[in-house]
Chains A and B, each alone.
Chain A
Amino acid sequence: MILIDCPNCGERNVAEFRFGGEYNPRPQNPDDPASDAAWVDYLYLKENKLGVQKEWWYHRAGCGLWFLAERHTKSHAVEKTYFWEAAK
């Protein structure tokens, strides 16, 4: 079981968290027919990266914070975690 470093609570077992998927901001003007491809990309095409991935985690059994983590998908090294504001 890996450890996730909650920016509020510190390192906790991953079982306390919900994984929220890759950081993948919603496209601008998604209703525009011209953005069909961007919308499909947003919904279905995950990067599924080997390496450091920026991703969402939710501390469900803790403080209730949604935060971002940069985690290596092979070694599971969590390089940093931070609030959403810093990701903008």
Chain B
Amino acid sequence: MSTKTKDAINPESQIQNPKSKIQNRLSSHPSHKVDYTRPIEFEFNGKKYTAFEGDTVASALWAAGVRVLGRSFKYHRPRGPFALTSGDTNAMVRVGDEPNVRPSMKLVEPGMAVESQNVWPSLNADIMSLTSYGSRFMPVGFYYKAFFRPKALWPTYEKVIRNAAGLGYVTTDTPDTYYDKKYEFADVLVIGGGPAGMSAALSAAKTGARVMLLDENPYLGGHLAYERQSVDTKNGGAKAYELADQLAQQVLAHPNIQVELNTSVFDIGYHLWVGAVKEGWTNTDPDSIQNPKSKIQNPEARLLKIRAKSLVAANGAFEQPLVFENSDLPGVILGSAAQRLMHLYGATPGKRAVVLSANRDGLQVALDLLVAGVQVSVVIELRDQPDSDLVTVLESAGVPVKTDSIVTKAQGNKGVRGVFVSQAAKELPLSPGGIKAIRGTKEFVICDLLVTSVGWTPATGLLYQAKGRMDYDEQRAEFLPAHLPPKVHAAGRVAGAHSVKAELLEGEMAGLNAAADVGFGKGASKKLQNEVAKLKAAEPVRTSALTYIPGGKKSFVSFDEDVSIKDVRDSVAEGYKSMELLKRYSTLSMGPSQGKYENANTMALCAEANNQTIPETGTTTGRPPFTSVPLGALAGRHMEPVKYTPMHDWHIARGATMMNAGLWKRPEYYGDPAAEVVGTRNSLGIIDVGTLGKLRLYGKDVPKLLEMLYTNKWSKLAEGGVRYGVMCNEEGIVSDDGVTANLGGDEWYMTATTGGVTGLYQDIEWNLQSGWDFDVHAVNMTDDYAAMNLTGPNAREVLQPLTDIDLNNEAFPYMAARQGTVAGVPAILMRIGFTGELGYEMHVPAGYGLYLWETLMDAGETFNITPFGVEAQRIMRLEKGHFIVGQDTDALTNPFMAHLDWAVKLDKSDFLGKPSLVRIQKRGVEQKLVGYEMLDSNIVPEEANQIVVPNPDRPIGLETIGRVTSSRYSPTLEKSLGLCWLPVDQSEPGTEFTVRIRGELHQGKVVPIPFYDPDGKRLKS
């Protein structure tokens, strides 16, 4: 070997420092992301290993000689990393209590406990791998076919499948934690921090645009970071990794560029709403972002929600695996994976290698392996005329380069022990799919490493999500962007630019154009655009149209889901001819890697099986997530708001059991609800009704508004009066109810249901803003007022000393409203009573709520005042026969069905729902809401129990004719009573019916309502 050749293949000789030599590691080098001076201890399957800071789980274990990290999903075949990227999902591991961790992305931390997944009973003796020998028993579509029927057995099947095919397990004793999310904004969002992405970020930032740059790795540089050859840029030559560092320094120093590393984009939504997960650490020191040695650990991932104004996808390409028999064996790795191992982590990929090459990248990898001290037995070249400059160097180093050749099969048990190579048919590469003939004798070459470099698949998944269209370039055998939506750009390998010079220039162009989209600069010059087009056109083809080697049985297209070539062909033969159907039936590309390393091969196979071209077959729609996302990151923090009334803490201090009322919390009861009812009816009770909807209405046309909103009449309601009303929607369905008071001086006060008020307010606004030409202003005061109801026969006696309002029955009768002060607090008082007793509902500014409540509690002490909750309120309202909108009514209930005929005034000129109610009244109703009592007062139906009649034609001999909607035992009347729906002809008082309660039949009887104080004497007293 000449000195010149030695230098060419051993550039390290000049910078090598013998003192830094570590066992199982290559000499340290500036391109390394590991720091040999900082060893880290960690465990894999209980055994201790040493890693170095900057190592991933995969790189540390590989350097230690561990290649098998897990077992495959279906056949439990041994699997290890083959790409050293986020796509190594078939070797996912468990780290601590986190399952499904991608080993090539997870950085080793001190004391980390890593376990393999999907192995039983252990990684080395996996019983399920026996299924591999019986793979004819698990044909494609296996889960559909085998487990479809009988349906009743599904729960059993599911358990078995889960155990056999599980992807890790979840522990339930993990402490509660949450992932936070962060909202980000960018004028130009650049995805991918390789040469194209960094170039795009810099050119966009120089126009003044605010740029955000994301990369899934903990460093910038993309493929440059793991390459050491000289590359050609417009500013001359540089070593790839040096160029990466130079660009990274410019990017990190630029004030307009925000860099987020360890950040994977999984979703591009409409209007460039981009979802990304940032994992690992955050580093606040911009100088050291490039250098993971001084990292600060951040234990959780963060969800980033980014609104971008324009976007540059520069997220590169996946190196494409070739499918052949046993190509899934640990030790069969991609060329870029070998470079990552050597150049990022200093790990020796193997001892004896065979390189399968179909492009310049493959020959370069062979040289890189030689430099790292790996014996390269042979380079198997698919091409007939490989790059002669590199071939010369290889051959002078004693490495034979066999052109027109292929690898047909890998051999080995838990790793590669050798490969079979053959001469291939001359007309290689054939398009699409496979080759027609294998010539010559098979030769077995011993090796522990097979490195394949046969081409690149542009990572267009995100561009599909952004509604881009890709077209198949027959010559380059790549799907390349053909039409991108406005404000979406692509640059670099994802767009088919492979040389660094083309990537940099295309990045620059895309950055300028993206900035111009949002008003920064004038966009890329014609000259630059032409230059990019020229460079790209002149580039050699990098991707072989050959995607698989025929003849193998265990030739897996999908490692994620163990789908073989045969499975694809069988699926097509069974009629699943389109990619979309094939994918669902065979589960191809539905695994954790989302098809990153299998889509291109699947398409070629599908096309071949259909006897179509690849463009005819077409691709599948790109759907989120593009990359696997922790569910916790999507769930985020529990952010549902909760509303508390001003008296909340008082209720809690009094031991109230709280319940939800929409967003609010309300006391359900303080003790015994029946005692709360008796205390109120006999003397005095008080309830917090602050959750009621409350609207203030101002203006001279409020009566007109009320006439339109409610079904009953309002124009004659005098100042100081309160009226109950029902509202319907335009379908004539009861939508809300409540009371409204005329406060005088064109001021009105409306209450509505807790759940309905928000929608009601918005609907009022809609009408006022779109045609109801009323002089009205509506203000939603729900959260601004506290409200409480003091009720019971002694309410007047307790309240009168506290207020300047005359509470005398003549001065302030039932259904009247007054304004004044109570305990010095400005208040609106309404004499209404859902309890059926004398009562004053008081609305005061929220800040006075607790003060007034406590004052009333003190004042009521001599009358044994009873605070009561929702349960007692429900009993009392039911004793009065009042229905609750949404409980006793549903989305089909009109007022005529709910005995509200009296409140529907069809002689009004118009109101919401009137046209429907006019028609409904003509048609009549079939069901009615009525009051009932049970013949046996000890039997209390459950709400929603069915009212039935015998019918021998029905499954249990019963037919449902109605249902119970409210049911309570009345402590006042000592009866079991409630409201129920019955057919109109069975709704007359006295009619008996049968209700089915927990499987037993019981008798009830329709009775008139109200049940309690039917004349309202107590209410009006």
Contact = CB atoms under 8 A, between A and B. Distances in A.
Interface in B718-733: 730-731
Interface in A49-67: 56, 58, 60, 64-66
B296 interface: no
Given A2-B270, A30-B915, 18 more contacts: A2-B271, A2-B273, A3-B271, A3-B307, A13-B307, A18-B762, A31-B910, A31-B915, A35-B915, A36-B919, A39-B915, A39-B916, A42-B730, A66-B769, A76-B270, A84-B769, A84-B770, A84-B771
Contacts of B731: 43
A76 B915 contact: no
Contact of A43 (B765, B769, B916, B918): B916
A56 B766 contact: yes
Given A39-B915, A39-B916, A65 B769 contact: yes
Interface in A6-38: 13, 18, 20, 26, 30-31, 35-36
B271 A58 contact: no
A69 B395 CA distance: 69
B522 to A, nearest CB: 24
A1 interface: yes
Nearest to B771: A84
A43 B917 CA distance: 13
Contacts of A39: 915-916, 919
Interface of B: 269-271, 273, 307, 467, 730-731, 762, 765-766, 769-771, 910, 914-916, 918-919
Contacts of B771: 84
A36 B270 CA distance: 40
B762 A58 contact: yes
Given A31-B918, A43-B731, A58 B765 contact: yes
Q: Which 8 pairs, one residue from A and one from B, show the smallest C-beta to C-beta distance?
A: A30-B915, A84-B770, A3-B271, A66-B769, A76-B270, A2-B270, A1-B273, A66-B766
B212 to A, nearest CB: 17
B766 A58 contact: yes
Contacts of A64: 765
Contacts of B307: 3, 13
Given A18-B762, A36-B919, A39-B915, A66 B770 contact: yes
- Say whether chain A's binding surface is mostly helix, strand, loop, or mixed: mixed
A30 B770 CA distance: 18
Interface of A: 1-3, 13, 18, 20, 26, 30-31, 35-36, 39, 42-43, 56, 58, 60, 64-66, 75-76, 84
Given A2-B271, A66-B769, A76-B270, A43 B730 contact: yes
Contacts of B918: 31
Contacts of B916: 39, 43
Contacts of B730: 26, 42-43
B271 A20 contact: no
Contacts of B762: 18, 58, 60
A42 B910 CA distance: 16
Nearest to A29: B915
A26 B912 CA distance: 11
24 contacts: A1-B270, A1-B271, A1-B273, A2-B270, A13-B307, A18-B762, A26-B730, A30-B914, A31-B914, A35-B915, A39-B916, A39-B919, A42-B730, A43-B731, A43-B916, A58-B762, A64-B765, A65-B769, A66-B765, A66-B769, A66-B770, A75-B467, A84-B769, A84-B770
A3 B272 CA distance: 9
A56 B914 CA distance: 23
Nearest to B273: A1
Contacts of A3: 271, 307
A66 B914 CA distance: 24
Contacts of A13: 273, 307
A2 B765 CA distance: 24
A1 B915 CA distance: 38
A84 to B, nearest CB: 4
B271 to A, nearest CB: 4
Contacts of B769: 65-66, 84
Nearest to A44: B731
Contacts of A18: 762
Given A31-B915, A36-B919, A84-B771, A1 B766 contact: no
A42 B913 CA distance: 12
B319 to A, nearest CB: 34
B485 to A, nearest CB: 8
A76 B271 contact: yes
A78 B558 CA distance: 41
Contacts of A36: 919
A43 B731 CA distance: 7
Nearest to B729: A43
A65 B269 CA distance: 26
Contacts of A2: 269-271, 273
A3 B271 CA distance: 6
A78 B731 CA distance: 30
A23 B679 CA distance: 54
A9 to B, nearest CB: 15
A3 B185 CA distance: 13
B308 to A, nearest CB: 11
A61 to B, nearest CB: 12
Nearest to B914: A31
A66 B770 CA distance: 8
Nearest to B759: A18
Nearest to A78: B271
Residue from A1, A60, A76 having most chain B Cβ neighbours under 10 A: A1
A42 B916 CA distance: 11
Contacts of A35: 915
A2 B919 CA distance: 40
A45 B657 CA distance: 46
Contacts of A56: 766
Contacts of B271: 1-3, 76
A55 B915 CA distance: 23
Given A31-B914, A84-B769, A1 B919 contact: no
A56 to B, nearest CB: 7
